A and B are shown apart, each in its own frame.
Chain A
Amino acid sequence: MATKSIQKKHSVTQNEEPILVISGLHKRYSEGKSNEVHAIRGLDLTVRKGDMMAIMGPSGCGKTTLLNMIGHLDRRSEGNIVIDSIDTATLSDGKMTGFRRDKIGFIFQLFNLFPFLSAVENVETPLLLKGMKAGVAREQAKMVLRELGMGDRLYHLPSELSGGQQQRVAVARALITEPAIILGDEPTGDLDSTTSADVMNLFRRINKLNRQTLVLVTHNRWIAEQCDYIVHMTDGKISRVEQGPFTKEETQ
C-alpha cells in the first residue's frame, strides 16, 4: 500500500516504467541461530525509472542492508526483487555479476576504493570490466574526475586523498558506467556543504540528462530534500514516504 501511494503522488515520473520492484523482502542475519537479526522485515517498494529517491532512518534500521539487497551484494532471506523487468532470482551468479556491472553503480558508506590503485585507475576499472579499451577507459575516467574537480589528483592513491576527495572518486566510479540505478550509501557523508551541494547537483544533472535512477541513503535532511521523494525506514520496514518537491530554490 505504501508503494501505491508513491506512484500516485509522484508526478515527474508518473508515466515511467517501474525500474525496481521489491515485494515482501526479508533479511535475517545469522538465520536460525540464537543471535539472529531480522534486519529487513517484509518490505515493498517500487521505484520508477528516473526517480531520485532518498532513504532516511535511524542508525541500524536496515538502510545499508536494503541497498545491499538491491545490489545483490548479499543473499536475501525472502521476497522478490525485479530490476528492469528482470526477476533477479532467475539470474545465475555470473549473469548477476554482469547485470550488476552494467546496471548498478555503488557508492559505499565507507568509501571502498582500491587502496593500491590511483584515483583514475579506480574509476576506470568498471569500464575495463565491461571490456572497453584501456586507452578509451582512461580518457573517460579522467573526464569524469575532472568534472568532479579532481583533475589535479588523478594519480594519487586513496590514502593520499582527503575523505571528501575519496568520496568524489567513489562517485566517479559509480557514475562512469552510466548505470540504470545508482545506489549511494551516504554519498556525501564526509563532504563539506559546498562539495555536498556540488555532488548533489551532479546527481540531479545526470538524473535529468540520462534519466538514471538514484537511490540515496542519507542522514542529512538537506540532502534528502534534493530528491524527488523521501522514504523513511524504521525497524526494517518503510514507515512513511514524503513526497517532494522540497526545494524552493535550485542551486546553480
Chain B
Amino acid sequence: MGLKSSFMVAKRSLWRRKTKNLSAILAVTLGVTLLVGIQITTNTLENAFLTSLLQNEGEVDFSVVNATTGGYLTAADIANISALVPNAVGIMPELTIDVPIMLGSQFDSSVELAGISTDFPEEFGTFYDWKTGDEIDIGDYLTDNTTILLSSKLAENLGLDKDVALPISVTTEFTNLTVSITVDPTTGNYTATPTYNTERVELTVVAIFDSSRPGIGSKYKMIMALEYVQQWRSLQDTTRETNCISSYLIALKTDHFTTEIDEDYLQEQVDLFEESIPEDTYSVESNRLTFFSVAEIVMTLLSTMLTALGLLVMVTGILLITNVQLMSVEDREFQTGVLRAVGENRRGIVQSILIENVFQGILGGMFGLIGGLAFGQAVALYLVELFGTGQHSVQPVVSQEIVILAVIVGVALGIITGILPALRASRVNIVDALRGIKSSFEEKSGRNLALLGILAVITGVIVLLYNGVLNEAYQPIWVSEGWNTLDEWRTILTGAGLLFSGAGIVLSRFISRTKALNITAIALWAAPVFLFAVAMGEWITDITGLATDILIIGVTEILVGSILIVAVNLPPVMNALRNLLVKMKGLKGVGQIAPALISSHKSRSTLTYAIFAVIMTLNVTVAILVPTNLSSVNQTGEDSRGVDLIVSLNKAEAQIANTSYVEELYKLDSHITDVIAFKTYSTTTDYTKFVAVNDPYSSEFNAQTDLLPIGYGEITSDQIRGNATDTYDSDWRYDFYLSSFPDSITQPLESDVSDEELLDMSKQAWDLFFNSSYTMAAYNVSLDALLSEDRDLSDVDLSGLEGYGGNELEGVEVLQDENGNVIENPVVFTDSFILPIGLQIWIPMNMSEYGVPVYQAFTVAGRLDSNRAGGFPLSSFSVGNILSEGDFDFVDFLGKIYLTEYWANQTNFLAEANGKTSTSRASNQYDCFLIKTTYDIEDQELESIAQTIEEFTNTNDDGYRLLASDNFYVASTTLLYSTVESTLEMTERVVSFLQIYVTFGLVIGAVGMAVISVRNVSERKREIGMMRAIGFPKTQVMISVLLELVVLGVIGLVIGIVNGVVISAGFANMQNATMIIPWSDLGVYLGFITLIALSAGAIPGWFASRIPPAEALRYVG
C-alpha cells in the first residue's frame, strides 16, 4: 500500500482521535512556545540594552580627539577634519570638563559640563523642553558664562520635578591655577610655585531639556555655550588659552533611533579615517562601536545562559511530546496488528504515523508561535522592569526568522519525536499485538547496537586520553592534577559519558539487561556528581572559566543518569510500594492496582516523571541558590567587623580649630562607639593621577593604554590594627578580610579554610602591609587579558567580581631586572577586580618641579574581599548598585588601590607631598568615615543616625557647613547592611527571572500529567469496569487514578531534590558558602506537585469512577 493509503489511515485516525491529537498538538505548542519565547526574550533584551547604551550617544557616530592624552584641538582643526571625513553629514565641536554640582543637599561630585556651540548643525537633533515638549533653541538661553541647561535625568537625580520653577541656581567649582615666580637673589634661579584655587560659581539653570527623548538631548547632562566653557577651562592653564576643543563629533547619518547605523559601515568609516590621519595629530573614539561590542559580549553571555536553561526546559517539552506520541502508538498497537495482519507493510504504517505527526507539528508550531509571542513579550517586559534597563518603552523584537523557525521546529519536533514510536509501531509483532502483549522492540538490532556500544566505548577512551596525552596543556587523568581544572573536567565528563553508555550497551549482551543498565546509569550519574559534590571546591579552586557547556554536560549526565536509575529499577520500587500499600487498610485494592500500572507502562511512566525530574532539578537548584546566598547575609554582622555605617564627604573635611568631623560625629549620637576616618581619592579626568600598569619611564610606555583611572585610598595601621600588638591580639580595630594574600603568607589559599583561619591570614597580611620594610617580588602577570582588543569577558569571574581569583601566583614567573635580580617593590592592597596579585604598577607620587609626576613602582600584594559585607566599604561599588542603576561610575567600578600612610604622604592627592595642589590636603583632612555603633548591623535605629549625620552636614549655614563656613559640603551615608541587601536583591531578581523559565517547565509537567491521566482513564475503561465489578469502591478507583500521578510526580521531585542538592553543593563549595536547603520551599514543591497530580487526575478520575461498570466492560478501545 502506498502513500495514498497511508494518507487515508492518517486522515481517519486524525479525525477519530480528536482529543488524542489535541494533546499532541498541545505538547508541540508548548515546546515551540518556549523556543520562540526564549528567542524573543533575548532579542528584545539585546535591543533594549543596546538602545539604552546608545541613548547616550545621540546622533554621534564617532569623535575625533587630540592624539596626545589630555591634549586639546583648536577651532582651526575643523578644516582638516572635514576633509578627512567626506561622508559626514554633520560635524560639531565640543569641550567638556567635569565639575561638581550641588543643589541644596543634593550633590554630584562629577558632572560633565559640555560646551557646545549654540548654532550646532541640525543633523545632531533638537533639544525639547522637559515640561512642555516644545523645541528649545539653546541660543535663546545660553547667553552668558553662568547660564546652563540641565538634562531631565540629572534634574531628577538632583530631586527636581517637572513643576520646578525656573530659573534655579546650582553651585559648582572651577579650578584656578596661578603660578608665582620667585627669583633667587643669590643664584638668580627662577622657582615656579603653582597655586590651585577653587572658584565657586553659582550657575543658573534656565531650562531643563528632555533627555529621555532620543536625539541630542539624550547625550548631554549639562550644557553651556562653548565659548564660556572655554573661558572657565582656561583657568586651569597658566597661559589662559581659550581656543580649546576636546573633540569634534561626527555624525554619518541622522535619526539613529529610528534606524540604527550599520555596525560594519561605521567600523569601515572609522578605519578609513584612522588610516588617513597624519601621524600624532588625531585619534578616533567611537563609543557607538564600543557599545555595539559591549552589548554583543553581554548578550552572548546572557543568551547562552538563557539558552542553556531554555534547552533544559525544552527537554521537558520534548519528553512530553514523545510521551504523547508513544501513547498514541501504544494505544493502537492492536489496530496496527490488525493492519499488518490484513497486509499493510511497515513503511505504510510509519508513513501514516509520520503524516499525522507532521500535521500535528504544523498546527502546534503555529499555536506555539502565538504562545511564544505572548510569552516572550511578557518575559521581556518583566525583565526590563526587573533590571531597569531604561525608561523608554521596550518593544518585543520579533524577527521574521522566528516565524519560520517556529513552524519548522514544530514539524521537526512532531517528526523526530514521532520516529521512535512509529518505528516501534512498525516493528510490532503482529501476533503479540493482537493478543495485547505490550511488546518492546524486536531484538533484531541487537548486533548493530552492540557495535554502536563498542564504538562509544572506544570514543570515550580516546576522549579521556585527550587530557595529557593528546593535549599536553592538560594533565592526564591518572595523576591528581588531572582533575583540578574545569577544562579537564569537560573532557572527563564527555569521555566518561560515552564510555559508560557504550559499556552498558555492550555489557547487556553478557549480563542481564537490568544489571547492565544499572551500571551505566549509576556511573553516568556519579561522574558529574563527583564533579559537583567533591571536586568543585576541594580540587578545583578556580572557577573563572566555568563555562555553560561544562554545566550543560554535567547537568545532562546527572539527569539522564538519575532518570535511568529509577527507570531500570522501577519494577522493584513499585513492588515495594505495592507491598507497603497492601498492608494499609482501605488502600489494599489501590496498592494492588496503581503500582502495577506504573511499572507495566514503563516508558510512559518514565517519560512522565522525567519531566518532573528535569524541572525539579532546575527548581531545587535555583531554590537553594537564594538561601545559600542569604546565608552570607546572616554572616554580615560578623564579616563587617563591627562597622555599621559609612559616611562620605564630597571633599576632604575642613580644617577647623579645636574640632574635626570625627569629633562632631561622636557628638551627634551617643551610640556611636568608634569612627574610623579614611582618605580616599578618585579621578576621572586628571591623567597625571592615573596609575600606570607599565613602566612610565620605559620607551614602550603608551599613555593611551597603560594608564588606568583607578582611585586611591590611604590605610593606616591605626585604622586597621588599633591598639593590637600582633595577629592573635583580639584588640584589632578593623581587621577586614583579604581574599588574596602576599606571597609570603605561606598557607595555600584553599576553599576549605575556615573563617577564623582566613581572618588570621588576613591579619598577618595587614601586618606585612604596615611593615615599612616589607617588599614583594613582582610577577609576570598582566592586564592584557582584560585590556587587549580581543578581550573576553569569560576571563573575568563576573559572579563574584573577584577577577583572577585563587592562587594566581602559581605558575607565573618572578620578574627580574636586566642584571638578573628579582624585582621587589613596596606593596599596595587593592579591592579592584582587574588588578591581578603580583602585578607591578606605578603610582604618581610627588610632583617634580615641572609639574610632572614622579612614579614609584609597587607590587599589588593583596586583595580585599569583595564579597564579605558587600566588599571593602571605601569603594562604593557593589554588584547590586551597578546592575540596578543601569549607569554607573566606571571609576568606582574599577575599585581602589590602598597605600600605607608613608606612601600616601608622598602623594599630592592624599596628602600634600611637596607643596599644595588643587587636590592636596593636610594629614588630618579625611573624607570617608566608617562608624561603629552599639546597635546591631540590621538595626533600624542606624537609619536615624544616618539621617542625623546628613542633616548635620547638609544644611546651609548650619551644623557642619556653619563650622566650616562652607556650604559646599555634602555628606552621603550608607548603611552597610543595605549594600549587602542590594547585592542580595540582585540575586533574588536573577532568581525570579530564572524561575519564569522553570515555572514554564512546571506548566509543561502539569499538561503532561493532565494528558496522561485523560488517556489513562479512557484507555483503561475496561480495567476500571473490572475493578468496579469485583468490588472496588468508587473512592478506591479514584485514588488509584490519582495515586499513579502523585507517585510519578513525587519520583520526579525526589530525583530533583537529590540532583539539585548535589549541584548546589558544588556551587556552595566554590563560593565557600554554607549550603542551606530550604526545606519549606521543597515542602511547597511537594505540595505543588501533589496538587498538579490531583487536579490533573481529578476530573478524569471522577468520570472514571462514575462509568457504569457494564458499559466500561464493553469498551474495546
Contact = CB atoms under 8 A, between A and B. Distances in A.
Interface of A: 65, 68, 71, 73-75, 93-94, 97-98, 100-102, 106, 108, 110, 112-117, 121, 124-126, 128-134, 159-160, 173
A75 B1030 contact: no
Interface stretch (B122-130, B582-590, B701-709): B582-590
Given A73-B1108, A117-B592, A159-B435, A112 B1031 contact: no
B1110 A73 contact: yes
A115 B436 contact: yes
Interface in B289-346: none
B1026 interface: yes
A84 to B, nearest CB: 16
11 contacts: A65-B1110, A73-B1028, A73-B1029, A74-B1111, A97-B1028, A97-B1033, A100-B1029, A108-B1026, A112-B1025, A112-B1026, A131-B588
Contacts, number: 91
9 tightest A-B CB contacts, nearest first: A101-B1031, A74-B1110, A116-B600, A128-B588, A73-B1109, A73-B1110, A68-B1110, A134-B582, A159-B437
Contacts of B1028: 73, 97
A121 B592 contact: yes
A112 B436 contact: no
A94 B1033 CA distance: 6
A71 B1030 contact: no
Given A74-B1111, A129-B589, A114 B1033 contact: no
Contacts of A124: 592
Contacts of A93: 1034
B1019 to A, nearest CB: 11
A74 B1108 contact: yes
Given A114-B1023, A115-B1023, A71 B1029 contact: yes
B596 A97 contact: no
A244 to B, nearest CB: 29
Contacts of A75: 1108
Contacts of B1022: 112
A74 B1109 contact: yes
B585 A125 contact: no
Contacts of B438: 159
B1110 A100 contact: no
Contacts of B1031: 97-98, 100-102, 126, 129-130
B1108 A98 contact: no
B1033 A125 contact: no
Nearest to B1026: A112
Contacts of B596: 114, 116-117, 121
Interface string B413-437: 0000000000000000000000111
B1110 A114 contact: no
B592 to A, nearest CB: 5
A163 B788 CA distance: 81
Contacts of B585: 131
A128 B589 contact: yes
Contacts of B435: 159
B1076 interface: no
| Residue of B1028, B1030, B1033 with most partner-chain A CB within 10 A | B1030
Interface string B599-621: 01000000000000000000000
Given A114-B1026, A115-B1023, A134-B582, A97 B436 contact: no
Given A100-B1031, A125-B592, A128-B592, A134 B597 contact: no
User: Chain B: interface residue count, which band?
Assistant: 20 to 34
A74 B600 CA distance: 29
Contacts of A73: 1025, 1028-1029, 1108-1110, 1113
B579 interface: yes
Contacts of A131: 585, 588
| Residue of A65, A94, A102, A114 with most partner-chain B CB within 10 A | A114
Nearest to A97: B1033
B593 interface: yes
B1032 interface: yes
Interface in B990-1030: 1022-1023, 1025-1026, 1028-1030
Given A106-B1030, A129-B588, A129-B1036, 11 more contacts: A94-B1033, A101-B1031, A108-B1026, A112-B1025, A112-B1113, A114-B1023, A125-B592, A128-B589, A134-B583, A134-B588, A159-B436
Interface in B1083-1117: 1108-1111, 1113
Contacts of A113: 1026
Given A73-B1108, A129-B588, A116 B597 contact: yes
A133 B1028 CA distance: 21
A73 B582 CA distance: 26
A150 B592 CA distance: 21
Contacts of A110: 1113
A94 B1110 CA distance: 17
Nearest to B1116: A110
Contacts of A126: 1030-1031
Nearest to B595: A116
B1109 to A, nearest CB: 4
Nearest to B599: A116
Nearest to A116: B600
A98 B1111 CA distance: 20
A223 B1032 CA distance: 31
Interface string B233-251: 0000000000000000000
Given A74-B1111, A75-B1108, A115-B436, A98 B1033 contact: yes
B165 to A, nearest CB: 81
Interface string B566-596: 0000000000000100110100110111001
Given A73-B1110, A108-B1113, A97 B1026 contact: no
B1030 A94 contact: no
Contacts of B1026: 108, 112-114
A242 to B, nearest CB: 27
A218 to B, nearest CB: 19
Contacts of A71: 1029
A126 B592 CA distance: 10
A160 B1110 CA distance: 26
Contacts of A100: 1029, 1031
Contacts of A128: 582, 588-589, 591-592
Contacts of B579: 134
A144 to B, nearest CB: 14
A98 B1030 CA distance: 9
Contacts of A159: 435-438
B582 to A, nearest CB: 4
A200 B395 CA distance: 81
A115 B435 CA distance: 11
Contacts of B591: 128
Given A74-B1111, A134-B583, A134-B588, A129 B1030 contact: yes
A94 to B, nearest CB: 6
A186 to B, nearest CB: 14
A73 B1114 CA distance: 11
Contacts of A97: 1028, 1031-1034
Given A125-B592, A134-B583, A112 B1033 contact: no
A128 B596 CA distance: 15
A112 B1029 contact: yes
Contacts of A132: 588
A101 B588 CA distance: 14
Contact of A125 (B589, B597, B1113): B589
Contacts of B1109: 68, 73-74
A121 B578 CA distance: 11
Interface in B129-177: none
B432 to A, nearest CB: 8
B692 to A, nearest CB: 79
A101 B597 contact: no
A73 B1025 CA distance: 8
Nearest to B1032: A129
Contact of A94 (B437, B1034, B1111): B1034
